[in-house]
Amino acid sequence: MKVSVDKITCTGCGTCQALCPQVFEIREDGKSYVLEGADLNCCDIHEIAASCPTGAILVED
Ligand code: SF4
Determine what percent of the chain is predicted with pLDDT higher than 90: 98
DSSP single-letter state for residue 33: E
Provide the H-helix boundaries in the chain. 15-19, 45-51
Q: Which of 58, 23, 19 is nearest to 40 (CA)?
A: 23
pLDDT (tens digit per residue) in 8-37: 999 999 999 999 999 999 999 999 999 999
Q: Which domains does the chain have, with CATH numbers?
A: 2-60 (3.30.70.20)
Pick the atom of ligand 1 nearest to 55's CA.
2
Cα separation, 42 vs 54, in Å, equals: 23
- Residue 57 in contact with residue 9, Cβ under 8 Å? no
Pick the atom of ligand 1 nearest to 54's CA.
3
Residue 2 host element (H or E): strand 2-5
Ligand 1: distance of its center to the CA of 10 in Å?
Answer: 5
Q: Whose CA is nearest to atom 4 of ligand 1?
A: 13
Question: Ligand 1 in contact with 30 (CB < 6 A)?
Answer: no
